[in-house]
Structure 1
Amino acid sequence: MKIALIATEKLPVPAIKGGAIQIYLDSIAPLIAQKHEVTILSIQHPDLPENETRNGVHYIRFAQSEYLSFLGDHLKNTKYDVVHLCNRPAWIPALHAQSPNTKWILSVHNEMFAVEKMTDEEGRACIAAVAQIVTVSDYIGRTITDRFPEAKGKVKTVYSGVDLQTYFPDWTQEGRRLKEKVRSELNLKNQKIILFVGRLSKVKGPHILLQAMPKILEKHPDAVMVFIGSKWFGDNEVNNYVRHLYTLGAMYPENVQFIQFVQPKNIPTLYAMSDIFVCSSQWQEPLARVHYEAMACGLPIITSNRGGNPEVIDEGRNGKVINNFEEPLAYAEAINSLLDSSGKRNEMGRYGRSKAEREFSWNTVAGNLLRVYENGR
């Protein structure tokens, strides 16, 4: 089959500036290309050519300012058997009109069928035009079917994944080497490291973790909380909220570190240095891909009971879900409990890694998508 994978207009593919959708397409395309002809359509970037082939995948990149128009022209003039559009249901009717005999697959990575983003008429037109809607979590699936019950027969959860070959738990030789190397570079050799990875945005809740620090340090004065991220993908500009975080962190100069945007390829080494991973999202998170990354690196997870996040947590086995997700004390108690026991951290980390190997490899994701492309379910 000839398959087109269409990225959003926000970031380029490959994921040189990050982005969960871009990493998703980067990872599944070469695997699907082992069996089918695959083209990725995305926006242009100065560091990337307009056309290229790499790892068996053809890339075509269009100007961001007229992206949708260029996509329509391309689809009108190029025949594909399957077109998989990421996260832009409102585009489906216009693009479908340019290629009406193609099987259209929509993947939904956020609450794109919300009332403020789509009218009833637009939602029904999209649902009628697609063969299948794959969602990144059951939670996102429900945001579609609760509003549009007629979509139930077309909605299927296909969880995202992680490159297991690039993450090394600390019980492996390479994991131990990376842990020692990165801790030495950051002057964190004998500390207990709590890791946050994500945008420094109020909806991600890093301020709540900083507010939890006094209770954590009462029990574990050797704890260090490391925040990796910036206000937006690849943008290290400091806004008022980030400035507020820096001010809070400055109260604990020996126990809080901020590391700005890190290229996705360099993220695994920062997981490897850590003891615990925390996701403090305050919004209804679709299902943050950081959970897969933490499991791949063998880290126990503490996450908020928001959106799809709890779906990958087997309570007490690979992590803990915080129901009082707005309360700093709730995070402090969960973090302290894990810092109290290296044995418990190791046990949960090993279970998480095995869960990732069973359920969340990119091979599994690609296989699940191929079944949708080839068979409809």
Structure 2
Amino acid sequence: MNIAMIATEKLPVPAIRGGAIQIYLQSSAEIIAKSHQVTVFSIKDPDLQESETKDGIQYIRIDKHHYLAGLVEQLKTQHFDVIHLCNRPSWIESLKKASPDSRFVLSVHNEMFAESKITKENGEKCIQAVSKIVTVSNFIGERIISRFPEAAEKIETVYSGVDLDTYHPVWTDEGGRIRKIMREKAGLEGKKIILFVGRLSKVKGPHILLQAIPEIAREHPDVMLVFVGSKWFGDNQVNNYVKHLYTLGAMHSDYVTFIKFVRPRDIPYFYAMSDLFVCSSQWQEPLARVHYEAMAAGLPIVTTNRGGNAEVISNGENGAIIDDFDQPQEYARVINSLLSDGQKREEMGREGRQLAESKYGWSRVADNLLRVYEGNE
């Protein structure tokens, strides 16, 4: 098959600036390209060529300010058997006109069929035009169906994935080596490290974790809460909310460390040095990919019962699910319990790694996408 995979206009592919969609496309394309012809479209970036072939994938990059128009022109000049568009249902009509004989697959990573995102008429046209709608969680699929019941027969959940070879649990030789180096470099030897990875935005809830720190530190004075991330992918500028976080953190400087944007390829090192991962999302999140990363790294996960996040967590087995997502004392209670029980943390971490290996590797994602592309149910 000749396959086109189209990213949004936000970030480039490969994912040199991060981004869940960009990582998803790059990782699955690299596997699919071993047996099919693959072209990936994304925006231009000063650190990437406008057009190149790498790892068997043809990359074409278009100016972000004329991205949709550029995509239309590209699709008019070359034929694709399958066109996989990410997260932009409102573009389907224009792209379908440009390439009417192609099979269209739409993957939905956020609530793109909400009233605020697409009209009822355009949503219905999109659903009629596509062969399949792939969602990153059952939650997203259910939200689409609640507004567009006719979409049910075309929707399929394909969970995202993780590169299992780049994450090393502490019980492996490589994981232990990385952990030792990272902790020595950061001056965190002997600490119980709680890790947060993600954008520093209110919907991600880092302020709730900071409010929980005094209660955690009273029971575990050797704790360190490490935040990895910035206000936006690759952007270390500070807005008012981030300033607020820094102020809260400064009040507990013995227990809080902020590390700004980290290149995606370096993220696994921070998981390796940690003891526990926390996703404190306050919004109805589709399903944050950090859960797959933490599982691959063999870390127990504390997450919130918001959106699709809890779909990959079995409470008490590979992590803990917090229902009272906006209550700092609830985070403190769950985190203190896990920090006090090293054996439980290891059991959860091993269960998470086993789940990642059996369900969440990129080869599984690629296989599922290929089945969808081929029209096999």
Band of TM-score, shorter chain: over 0.9
* Residue 278 of structure 1 pairs with residue 275 of structure 2: no
Q: Residue 132 of structure 1 contacts residue 376 of structure 1 at CA under 8 Å; is this kept in 2? A: no
- Matched with 2:338 is 338
Q: Could you list the runs of 5+ residues in structure 1 that have no partner in the other structure?
A: none
**Corresponding residue of 1:221:** 221
Query: Quick check: 1:107–1:134 contact (8 Å CA) kept in 2?
Result: yes
Whether the 8 Å CA contact 1:86–1:109 is kept in 2: the answer is yes
Q: Is the 8 A contact 1:277 1:300 kept in 2?
A: yes
CA deviation profile, 1:147-189 (whole Å, cap 9, x unmatched)? 0000000000000000000000000000000001001111000
Q: Hey, what's the Cα distance between the residues in 1 that align with 2:10 and 2:368?
A: 26
| Corresponding letter in the other structure for 2:72 | G
| Residue 51 in structure 1 maps to residue 51 in structure 2 | yes
Code of the aligned partner of 1:81: D
Alignment match, 1:119: 119
Aligned twin of 1:35:
35
Q: Which amino acid aligns with 1:67?
A: Y
Contact 1:138–1:308, Cα closer than 8 Å, also in 2: yes
Structure 2 Cα separation of the partners of residues 269 and 105 of structure 1:
35
Count of aligned pairs: 377
Helix, strand or coil: the match of 1:52?
strand
**Cross-structure match for 2:195:** 195
Helix, strand or coil at the partner of 1:227:
strand
Instruction: Give 3-state SS (helix, strand or coil) of 1:337's partner.
Output: helix
Distance 1:255 1:211 in 2: 12
Q: Name the SS for the 1:321 alignment partner.
A: strand
Matched-pair identity in %:
63
Partner of 1:25: 25
1:249-328 correspondence runs (5 A) = 249-328=249-328
* Counterpart residue number, 1:368: 368
Q: Quick check: 1:195–1:226 contact (8 Å CA) kept in 2?
A: yes
Matching residue of 2:79: 79
Q: CA contact under 8 A between 1:131 and 1:376: conserved in structure 2?
A: no
In the other structure, the counterpart of 2:349 is: 349
Q: Give RMSD over aligned pairs.
A: 0.5
> Tell me, what secondary structure is at the counterpart of 1:97?
helix
Match of 2:241 in 1: 241
Deviation at 1:375, TM superposition (A): 2.5
CA distance in structure 1 between the partners assigned to 2:59 and 2:264 by the alignment: 19
Deviation at 1:218, TM superposition (A): 1.0
Q: Which amino acid aligns with 2:365?
A: V
Deviation at 1:364, TM superposition (A): 0.4
| Displacement of 1:376 | 4.0
Stretches of 4+ aligned residues off by more than 2 angstroms: none
C-alpha separation in 2, matches of 1:306 and 1:234: 26
How far apart in 2 are the matches of 1:270 and 1:140?
Answer: 29
Task: Give the TM-score normalised by the residue count of structure 1.
Answer: 0.99
Structure 2: distance between partners of 1:163 and 1:338: 26
Can you give the 5+ residue segments of structure 2 that lack an aligned partner in the other structure?
A: none
Residues 205, 282 of structure 1: 8 Å contact kept: yes
How far is the alpha carbon of 1:5 from its aligned partner? 0.2
Distance in 1 of aligned mates of 2:110 and 2:217:
36
> Could you report, residue by residue, the CA deviation over 1:4-52 in whole angstroms, capped at 9, with x for unpaired residues?
0000000000001000000001100010011110000000001111111
Q: Secondary structure at the match of 1:352?
A: helix
